[in-house]
Structure 1
C-alpha cells in the first residue's frame, strides 16, 4: 500500500510538471511580454485578481453594460460592496498592447475627470480591467438618446458642464502628468458619467505616452475611430501627430453634443458630409443653430459658444488648433467675444482610407 501510494504521488507530481511545461510552451509571445511588463512595473500596477475572483465579482458575467472595440463590459460588486465595471478584453484583439496601454496610462493618473482603475486580471487568455462604476453610463446614449430604456434628456447647461469637465480631463492628461498621455480615442462612447453627471475619460487602449512635453510622436499606422481622427493621424502631410490630435477629436465630439453634426451614419458606418456651409452661415447671420428645437436665448448662446470652440478644435493643421488649456479659457469666458474660425480645408477620412492606412 505504501509503495502504491508513493507511485501515485510521484506520477501526480510528474503530471503537474508536464502540464506546466505544456502551458509554458503554448504561452504566446504576447503573454510573455505582458508578464514581463507586470514584473517590471510591480510597484505601478493595481491589485491583481484571479479569473475565478472576476467571475464572482460579476456573478458569472450576468449583467452586461456594453460592448466596445476591445471587449465587453460587465457590472460587478467587490467584497466590500463597491460597484465596479469589469472590462473583459478580447483574447484575439491586438497583441496585448491595449492591456499594457490601459495599465501604464491610467495608473499614472489621478483626476476627477479621468476614470479610476481599481484592479486587473491576467490569467492565460483571460484579461480584465476593473474600473469604478459609472451609474449614468456613457455620454453617447444621451447624445443619440439610445438605450434599453427611455433616456432622460440633458439640459444645455448639463452639456456645457460636461464639455468643460472633459476639457479639464484632457488638459490634465496633456499637461498635468509627469509623462504626457495622448488618448487617441476621444469620443462620446468613451466618456462616462457618474451619478452627478461628472464626466470621466475612459478606454485608454489606444493611448500613447509622450516623454517630451512639446514633441510629436511617431506612429507606424493610424489609430482611432472613424469620424474623430485628426487629418495628421491618417496623412502625415498635414503635420506631426501630437496632443493636438486629441484636441481635434474633442472638437468633433463638441459638435455632436451641440447637435450640429452627426459624425457617423449608424446605418452605413460612413462619415457624413463634412461640416456643410450652413453651420458657418448660421453663425455669421446669428441664426439659431438648432431650428428643430425651441431654445431660450441663454441656451442658444451655449450652443453657439460650444460650436465655435468645436470648429476651432477641428482646424486642419495642428498648429491652428488651440491647446486644451486655451479651450477651457474659451469655454469659461464670454461666449459673445469668440471669433468664428476659418473653414477647415479638408474632410475627415472615410472608413476605407483609415482601413488602408492601418493595413
Structure 2
C-alpha cells in the first residue's frame, strides 16, 4: 500500500498539469515571445533596464525618449552615459534603484563637465543645488598654494600652473591668491565641489517606476507615460504555486487516507506477529532457542539492512524482534557442517545460560540457509577498546574495568569447561570474540570452532589445527607439546590478557627485530628483572593491576599444557588481592635443560586423549 502513494501523486501531478486552463498559460498584459527589453549589461558594469536603453542591443522603445537615458558600452566593457554638451562620457558605476544612477569621471573633473549643461534639456533633477548654495569659482595660480578652502582641480592643472576651485561663500582675504587670477565660475553644483570631483549621483523624477517596482513588475514605455507589465514567467510562477497548493492538499489527503489503511493493516499484521513474539518470549524464559524460517530472518533483519561485521564463517546483521528486543543474526556459509551437526550444536548451545556467555536466542535451518540468532550487544567487541590507533578513536578502558572484563571472561570459560552438561572447548578466544554489553560486561561469542565432549574426558585429538594465528596453543599445531585439551583455551586467554595489558597485538609484523615483534617475551624480561611496566599507566593503582594481569597471562601461555593453570585457578588468581608469583620462563623449548624440570611441575594433570 505504501508503494501506491508515489504513483498516485505522480498521476495527479500529470493530470493537474495537463488540464490547466489555456487562458492561464498566457497571462494578459505581458509581452509575447522573447522579451527584447529585458535587462542587458556591459561586461564590467551593472544591468541596464528601463528607463535606460542600450541602442546597440535593444530597440529604441525599450528606453525613455531622452538623450541622457541612452547608454553605451566602451571597448573596455564599461557602461557609458553621455550628457548633452559634455566633451566626454561618464562611466556608470551603479544603478542602485529606479530613481538614481551613479557616474564617475576618469579625469576626476565632473564639476567642469556639468557647468555647460543646458538645464532645459537635462533629464535629471538639480533642485538640490540650493540646498548647498555651492557656486565655485575657478582660478589658475602660477605657484602651488594650500588652503582648506581651495580645491585643486587636477584635470585642469598644467606643469606651469595649478587650477583651484573656491566656494563662493569663502572669504577672499583668507586665501593665498597672490599668484592667482580669476578664470571662470560654475553656476550650480548638487554638492560642494570637493565632494564630487570623481563621482556623483544623478536623480530623476520622470519617469517614476516606483509603483511597478513595488508590485515586482517591469516598467515599460507607453507613449509619453509608462505601464507596468509582468516579467516573463511571472504569471506562470503564480499559476504553478496555485497548482502546487492543490497538489499538496490532495497529496496530504491521500497520505492521510493511505496512513489510515496502513495502520489498520499493520494492526492485523502485528496481531499475527505478536503471537510469534509471545511464543519467543516463552521459549526465551525457558532458556531454549526458537527455530525461525528464512522469511522470519529476513523480516527480523529488515532484509539484511544493517551489517555489523564479517567473520570467517558468515556475516552478522542487526535485527529486531520487537521495539525493545534487538538481536545479532549471523548468516552462516553453506559449508558450515551438515544439517544434523548444525541442529545438534544449536540444541546444545540453547541450554547454555551464563552472564559471561552470549545467549543464543534462536536459529534458522531452512534448506541450505542456516543462521544463528544471538542477543545484541551495543558496545561491540573488546578489540576496538584495547587496540588504540589513528583508525580507532574509542577511549581506553580504565584498568579496574579491564580487570573486571578479564575476570568475567575467565568465569565464562570456566562455565564452558565445567558448568555445562557437556564440556565445550571454544578454540577461538580472542578480543574480537569478546563482546561487551551496555554495562561493559564481557560475553564470550562465536562458537563456530567449538568442540563438545564429555565432562569426564579432558583431552581431544584433532586432525587439523583450528583457531586464529597468535592465539592458537602450541599443542594444536604439534602434539610434541602435549594433548589438545581445555588448556588450549587457557593459552588463548593468556594471550588475550597480555594484549589487554599492552594495548597492542602480541605479534607485531611491522617491528624491525624479533624482540620487538613478540610482546609476551618483552613483558617477561621486564618483570623478571623487577622492572615496572610503563604501559598506559595513569594512576598509582594502575601499576598493580597491569602487573597482576601480565603475570597471570604469562602463567597461561606456557608452551606445555601441563604447566598452565586450569581456568578455575586462573579465576582464583584474578579474584585474589595479592599479585601472583612470577612463573618460570614460559618460552622454554623442548630441547632445553629446564624443560624436563618445568614440565608439569605445578599444574600436573593426566590428560586422556579424546578421539575426534
Q: 2:374 aligns with which of 111, 115, 131?
A: 131
- Aligned residue pairs: how many? 302
Shift of 1:239: 0.8
Q: Is the 8 A contact 2:293 2:366 kept in 1?
A: yes
Residue by residue over 1:299-357, the C-alpha shift from the partner in whole angstroms, topping out at 9 and shown as x without a partner, is 1111111010001001011110001110011111134343333232259xxxxxxxxxx
What SS is found at the alignment partner of 1:253? helix
Query: Bigger CA drift: 138-147 or 170-179?
Result: 138-147
Partner Cα separation in structure 2 for residue 288 and residue 98 of structure 1:
49
Distance 1:232 1:337, change over 3 A: closer
What SS is found at the alignment partner of 1:66? strand
What SS is found at the alignment partner of 1:85? strand
Distance 1:280 1:201, change over 3 A: same
Shift of 1:100: 4.8
Q: 1:150 aligns with which of 393, 404, 407?
A: 393
Counterpart of 1:117 in structure 2 is: 360
Q: Does 1:332 align with 2:575?
A: yes
Shift of 1:64: 0.9
Partner Cα separation in structure 2 for residue 75 and residue 258 of structure 1:
31
Q: Which runs of 5+ in 2 are unaligned?
A: 1-285, 591-612
The 5-angstrom pairing of residues 269-288 of structure 1 reads: 273-275=517-519, 277-288=521-532
Partner Cα separation in structure 2 for residue 263 and residue 130 of structure 1:
32
Shift of 1:171: 0.5
Counterpart of 1:58 in structure 2 is: 301
Q: Is the 8 A contact 1:174 1:180 kept in 2?
A: yes
Counterpart of 1:253 in structure 2 is: 496
Q: Is the 8 A contact 1:83 1:132 kept in 2?
A: yes
Partner Cα separation in structure 1 for residue 500 and residue 295 of structure 2:
40
Q: Does 1:164 align with 2:403?
A: no
Counterpart of 2:328 in structure 1 is: 85
Q: Does 1:301 align with 2:544?
A: yes
Counterpart of 2:449 in structure 1 is: 206
Residue by residue over 1:273-300, the C-alpha shift from the partner in whole angstroms, topping out at 9 and shown as x without a partner, is 3446432232133323135x34322111
Query: Bigger CA drift: 195-204 or 254-263?
Result: 254-263
What SS is found at the alignment partner of 1:54? helix
Distance 1:190 1:324, change over 3 A: same
Shift of 1:264: 4.6
Counterpart of 1:237 in structure 2 is: 480
Structure (1/2) with the larger helix percentage: 1
What SS is found at the alignment partner of 2:310? strand
Partner Cα separation in structure 1 for residue 314 and residue 308 of structure 2:
11
Q: Is the 8 A contact 2:326 2:376 kept in 1?
A: yes
Distance 1:294 1:162, change over 3 A: closer
Query: Bigger CA drift: 75-84 or 333-342?
Result: 333-342
The 5-angstrom pairing of residues 38-49 of structure 1 reads: 46-49=289-292
Partner Cα separation in structure 1 for residue 416 and residue 390 of structure 2:
30
Q: Does 1:228 align with 2:228?
A: no
Query: Bigger CA drift: 150-159 or 132-141?
Result: 150-159
Q: Which has the higher contact order (CA 8 A, sep 6+)?
A: 1
Partner Cα separation in structure 1 for residue 531 and residue 504 of structure 2:
16
Counterpart of 1:15 in structure 2 is: none
Q: Which runs of 5+ in 1 are unaligned?
A: 1-42, 348-359
Q: Is the 8 A contact 2:386 2:503 kept in 1?
A: no
Q: Is the 8 A contact 1:48 1:120 kept in 2?
A: yes
Partner Cα separation in structure 1 for residue 348 and residue 448 of structure 2:
9
When Rg is computed on C-alpha atoms for both structures, the one with the higher figure is: 2
Residue by residue over 1:138-192, the C-alpha shift from the partner in whole angstroms, topping out at 9 and shown as x without a partner, is 1111111479873132111111100000000000111111211111111111111
Shift of 1:69: 0.8
Distance 1:98 1:251, change over 3 A: farther
Distance 1:267 1:275, change over 3 A: closer
Distance 1:58 1:89, change over 3 A: same
Q: 1:343 aligns with which of 586, 589, 593?
A: 586
Q: Is the 8 A contact 2:289 2:347 kept in 1?
A: no
Q: Is the 8 A contact 1:260 1:289 kept in 2?
A: no
Counterpart of 1:188 in structure 2 is: 431
Shift of 1:91: 2.3
Q: Is the 8 A contact 1:105 1:207 kept in 2?
A: no
